[in-house]
């Protein structure tokens, strides 16, 4: 047993676990308040008020919703395939959350206030347990782990998220669920292609699959004031890649204007028709986690992640820039929901395969040509 | 016994259990899910060998695209549960057993007698040297675009042929052709998408 424990780099794993726990708490809070923010922002767009009763300005609304979901009657239809029916929300939610650990949310090697005392406490604790630690916690890295194929990991886990929807649609044993599930998953896999290809075009200026290095390469400015973000790299290939990415991301997460598979007036409610109470809440949550994932990826790869003014002198400011960019994308999602009508399904699939995919492919060639000429 | 051995044992055991699941389940959806679990375990095993690119591609391509296709086909074409049939070629199991044991013996012999050095496992925190590491992005790109560029192009043409063939087979033909197909099918409707109901075990 001790040989097992000696072969693990225990401080690193414990540190990573703590960061994952903090990240998870952050995601849960973001998702809960995304629902609230969506309702308030949609209300402003639609010239009404939105929930503002529960707590000051309605800020306790997510808790009210959570309590409602927990106490709702959990109806499981008799003819469903029980094992798969119960598994599906988990399969949708877990990969979406797993993706979030590869993003850097601040610079590496950031001074931690109180690091000396923390190092002393942790080292004495470890030595008292028999380990021989000599940790230096005065500086920490603001990323969970240094994953050298981070971008591929993101693609892999978003591909796995499709299964939850397919299984949910099939296991519910109802026409609406099956058709909604098939439509939704077909849409997701079609737009996954355009999404991945648009990011390939960005890999040329980015130079690495490691998201930490991608963000670090976006530091500095051109001409003193234009930030060296990937969206402006290899102009105009970066902009086209950003456009393709944004459209694919919205289609991938089944949001307006691509939300036909779960629109209320179509197919009852799509693949989550037969789900009630907490399982429906899990699907709902999974949709918002997917949105957050996609927004974080956009902020990291295109807008420079934690890069921003004054990050050199105040490293923790990087975290603020990162959060700001992610929230900008989330706001964009809500804004689009309040503004655009939805696509018909055949228009949607046509657009994904016949327009977006060729544009993404041509953009890769364009980026390569510009990269060779100017990089 | 290090953590890497424990990881290998755990993942390999899960892969073997899921693989048995693939062949022993009667409901084809459960078999497909078993296969997905096997693929994910293999990807994790690739990660323990520092072949990150292969692991990611295994999940992106195999578990994330090919198996989705399988699952779609099972759902849309209403593939039913296997009904147990009487075994009509009873003598086959007497041949299969000894042959399986012979295969295991051969594998053991190869592992014991053949002596190739293991390829260098790349240090994950540095740029891997493409000529000696195995399975990293750099080594695969290096091989694919220098030594193996012609097989790469040939494979691309192969995939193009598959796409063109699929498009041709699935095209909507002329009215005369559609009428002929309708008549040949005897005027029956197309297969309905399957629902979970049809797969309740008897």
Distance from CA of B196 to the nearest CA of A (A): 5
Residue B197 is classified by DSSP as: G
Whether B133 has a pLDDT exceeding 90, the answer reads: no
Average pLDDT, chain A: 85
Residues in Cβ contact with B68 at an 8 Å cutoff, skipping those fewer than 6 apart: A159, A162, A163, A166, A185, A189
Residue A223 binned pLDDT confidence (cut-offs 50, 70, 90)? confident
- For A1, name the nearest residue in chain B, comparing CA atoms only: B1
For the segment A149-176, the average pLDDT, to the nearest whole number, is 88
**pLDDT for residue B151:** 93
For the segment A69-90, the average pLDDT, to the nearest whole number, is 86
Cα–Cα distance measured from residue A163 to residue B90, given in angstroms and rounded to the nearest whole number: 38
- For B53, name the nearest residue in chain A, comparing CA atoms only: A149
Cα–Cα distance measured from residue A313 to residue A85, given in angstroms and rounded to the nearest whole number: 52
Q: Which of A70-84, A354-368, B122-136 has the lowest mean pLDDT?
A: B122-136
A18 occurs within a structural domain: no
**pLDDT for residue A268:** 66
CB contact under 8 A, B75 and A166: yes
**pLDDT for residue B127:** 56
For the segment A6-28, the average pLDDT, to the nearest whole number, is 84
Burial class of residue A211 in the structure, from the number of CB atoms within 10 Å of its CB (0-12 exposed, 13-18 middle, 19+ buried):
buried
**pLDDT for residue B38:** 96
Name the residue among B1, B52, B57 with its Cβ closest to that of A3: B1
Range of the domain at A211: 80-107+147-374
Residue A111 is classified by DSSP as: E
Phi, psi angle pair for A110, to nearest 5°: -105, 135
Cis peptide before A236 (omega within 30 of 0): yes
For the segment A219-229, the average pLDDT, to the nearest whole number, is 79
Is A207 within 8 Å of A195 (Cβ atoms)?
no
A69 occurs within a structural domain: no
In chain A, the percentage of residues whose pLDDT exceeds 90 is: 25
CB contact under 8 A, A3 and B60: no
- For B65, name the nearest residue in chain A, comparing CA atoms only: A159
**pLDDT for residue B202:** 41
Question: Which of B70, B75, B69 has the alpha carbon at shortest distance from A177?
Answer: B75
**pLDDT for residue B200:** 45
**pLDDT for residue B199:** 47
For the segment B132-138, the average pLDDT, to the nearest whole number, is 73
A46 and chain B: CB distance < 8 Å anywhere?
A: no
Phi, psi angle pair for A111, to nearest 5°: -70, 130
Instruction: Tell me how far CA of residue B140 lies from CA of B42, B87, B100, B129, in angstroms.
Output: 18, 47, 34, 11
In chain A, the percentage of residues whose pLDDT exceeds 70 is: 96
Q: Which residue has the higher pLDDT, A266 or A67?
A: A67
Cα–Cα distance measured from residue A32 to residue B33, given in angstroms and rounded to the nearest whole number: 31
For the segment A174-187, the average pLDDT, to the nearest whole number, is 84
Cα–Cα distance measured from residue A249 to residue A349, given in angstroms and rounded to the nearest whole number: 14
CATH class of B1-81+120-127: mainly alpha
- For B124, name the nearest residue in chain A, comparing CA atoms only: A148
At A240 the three-state DSSP class reads helix
Distance from CA of A222 to the nearest CA of B (A): 28
A-proximal residues of B, 2-61, CB under 8 Å: 2-4, 6, 29, 33, 36, 40, 43, 52-53, 56-57, 59-60
Summarised one tens digit per residue, pLDDT across range A306-331 is: 888 887 788 888 889 999 999 999 99
B66 and chain A: CB distance < 8 Å anywhere?
A: no
Question: Which of A153, A140, A150, A149 has the alpha carbon at shortest distance from A12?
Answer: A140
Residue A183 binned pLDDT confidence (cut-offs 50, 70, 90)? confident
Distance from CA of B164 to the nearest CA of A (A): 15
**pLDDT for residue A198:** 92
A114 occurs within a structural domain: no
**pLDDT for residue A178:** 84
Name the residue among B2, B53, B64 with its Cβ closest to that of A160: B64
User: 10 Å Cβ neighbour count for A264?
Assistant: 9
Residue A1 binned pLDDT confidence (cut-offs 50, 70, 90)? low
Interface test with B, best of A1, A108, A163 (most B CBs within 10 A): A163
Cα–Cα distance measured from residue A61 to residue B83, given in angstroms and rounded to the nearest whole number: 52
Cα–Cα distance measured from residue B30 to residue A169, given in angstroms and rounded to the nearest whole number: 15
- For B40, name the nearest residue in chain A, comparing CA atoms only: A160
A12 occurs within a structural domain: no
Is A305 within 8 Å of A103 (Cβ atoms)?
yes
Q: What is the CA radius of gyration of chain A?
A: 22
A191 occurs within a structural domain: yes
Interface test with A, best of B42, B57, B59, B127 (most A CBs within 10 A): B59
Summarised one tens digit per residue, pLDDT across range A231-261 is: 888 878 889 999 999 999 999 888 888 887 7
Geometric angle at alpha carbon A149, from A143 and A154, rounded to 5°? 80
For the segment B31-47, the average pLDDT, to the nearest whole number, is 94
Cα–Cα distance measured from residue A349 to residue A347, given in angstroms and rounded to the nearest whole number: 6
Q: Which residue has the higher pLDDT, A51 or B197?
A: A51
A356 and chain B: CB distance < 8 Å anywhere?
A: no
**pLDDT for residue B83:** 72
For the segment A76-103, the average pLDDT, to the nearest whole number, is 88
Residue A345 binned pLDDT confidence (cut-offs 50, 70, 90)? confident
Cα–Cα distance measured from residue A282 to residue A287, given in angstroms and rounded to the nearest whole number: 9
**pLDDT for residue A296:** 92
A270 occurs within a structural domain: yes
For the segment A356-367, the average pLDDT, to the nearest whole number, is 93
Across the A/B interface, how many CB contacts are shorter than 8 Å?
90
Residues in Cβ contact with A200 at an 8 Å cutoff, skipping those fewer than 6 apart: A364
Instruction: Tell me how far CA of residue A373 lies from CA of A202, A366, A369, B113, in angstroms.
Output: 16, 11, 6, 54
Domain range annotation of chain B:
1-81+120-127
H/E run at residue A14: helix A10-45
Q: Which of B123-127, B145-149, B160-164, B195-199 has the lowest mean pLDDT?
A: B195-199
**pLDDT for residue B161:** 95
- For A175, name the nearest residue in chain B, comparing CA atoms only: B195
Name the residue among A8, A80, A149 with its Cβ closest to that of B52: A149
B149 and chain A: CB distance < 8 Å anywhere?
A: no
Is A324 within 8 Å of A32 (Cβ atoms)?
no
B64 and chain A: CB distance < 8 Å anywhere?
A: yes
Q: Which residue has the higher pLDDT, B163 or A277?
A: B163
CB contact under 8 A, B196 and A156: no
- For B192, name the nearest residue in chain A, comparing CA atoms only: A175
Cα–Cα distance measured from residue B17 to residue B180, given in angstroms and rounded to the nearest whole number: 48
A115 occurs within a structural domain: no
Q: Which of A133-137, A161-165, A339-343 has the lowest mean pLDDT?
A: A133-137
**pLDDT for residue A342:** 85
Residue B125 binned pLDDT confidence (cut-offs 50, 70, 90)? low
CB contact under 8 A, B193 and A171: no
Say how many domains are in chain A: 1
**pLDDT for residue A73:** 83
B199 and chain A: CB distance < 8 Å anywhere?
A: yes
**pLDDT for residue B21:** 93
A293 occurs within a structural domain: yes
């Amino acid at each position: 047993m001790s040989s097992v424990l000696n072969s693990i780099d225990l401080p690193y794993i414990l540190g990573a676990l703590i960061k994952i726990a903090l990240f998870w708490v952050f995601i849960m809070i973001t998702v809960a308040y995304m629902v609230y923010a969506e309702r308030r922002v949609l209300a402003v767009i639609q010239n009404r008020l939105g929930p503002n009763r529960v707590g000051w300005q309605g800020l306790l609304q997510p808790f009210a919703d959570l309590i409602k979901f927990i106490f709702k009657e959990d109806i499981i239809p008799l003819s469903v395939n029980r094992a798969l029916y119960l598994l599906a929300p988990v399969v949708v939610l877990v990969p979406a959350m797993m993706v979030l650990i590869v993003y850097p949310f601040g610079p590496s090697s950031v001074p931690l206030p109180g690091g000396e005392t923390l190092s002393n406490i942790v080292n004495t604790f470890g030595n008292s347990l028999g380990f021989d630690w000599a940790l230096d916690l005065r500086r920490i890295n603001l990323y969970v782990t240094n994953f050298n194929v981070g971008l591929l990991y993101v693609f892999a886990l978003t591909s796995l998220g499709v299964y939850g929807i397919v299984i949910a649609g099939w296991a519910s044993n109802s026409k609406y669920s099956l058709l909604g599930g098939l439509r939704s998953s077909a849409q997701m896999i079609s737009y996954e292609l355009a999404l991945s290809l648009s990011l390939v075009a960005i890999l040329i200026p980015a130079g690495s699959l490691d998201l930490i290095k991608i963000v670090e390469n976006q530091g500095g400015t051109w001409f003193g004031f234009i930030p060296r973000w990937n969206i402006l790299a290899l102009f105009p290939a970066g902009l086209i890649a950003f456009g393709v990415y944004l459209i694919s991301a919205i289609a991938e997460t089944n949001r307006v204007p691509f939300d036909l598979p779960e629109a209320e007036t179509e197919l009852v409610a799509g693949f989550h028709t037969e789900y009630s109470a907490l399982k429906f809440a899990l699907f709902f949550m999974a949709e918002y986690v997917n949105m957050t994932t996609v927004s974080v990826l956009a902020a990291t790869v295109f807008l420079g992640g934690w890069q921003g003014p004054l990050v050199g002198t105040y490293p923790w400011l990087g975290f603020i820039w990162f959060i700001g960019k992610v929230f900008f994308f989330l706001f964009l999602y809500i804004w689009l929901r309040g503004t655009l009508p939805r696509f018909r399904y055949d228009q949607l699939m046509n657009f994904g395969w016949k327009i977006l995919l060729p544009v993404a492919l041509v953009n890769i060639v364009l980026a390569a040509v510009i990269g060779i000429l100017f990089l | 016994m290090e953590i890497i051995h424990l990881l290998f044992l755990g993942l390999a055991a899960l892969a073997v259990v899921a693989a048995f699941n693939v062949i022993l389940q009667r409901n084809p959806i459960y078999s497909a899910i078993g296969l997905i679990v096997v693929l994910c375990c293999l990807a994790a095993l690739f990660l323990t060998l520092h072949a990150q690119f292969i692991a990611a591609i295994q999940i992106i391509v195999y578990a994330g695209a090919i198996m989705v296709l399988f699952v779609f086909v099972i759902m849309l074409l209403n593939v039913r549960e296997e009904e147990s049939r009487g075994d009509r070629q009873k003598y086959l199991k007497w041949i299969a057993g000894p042959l399986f044991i012979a295969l295991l013996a051969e594998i053991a012999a190869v592992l014991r007698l053949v002596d190739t050095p293991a390829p260098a496992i790349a240090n994950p925190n540095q740029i891997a040297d493409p000529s000696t590491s195995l399975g990293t992005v750099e080594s695969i790109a290096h091989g694919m675009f220098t030594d193996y560029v012609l097989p790469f192009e040939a494979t691309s043409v192969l995939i193009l042929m598959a796409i063109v063939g699929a498009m041709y087979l699935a095209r909507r033909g002329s009215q005369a052709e559609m009428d002929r197909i309708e008549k040949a099918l005897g005027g029956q409707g197309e297969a309905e998408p399957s629902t979970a109901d049809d797969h309740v075990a008897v």
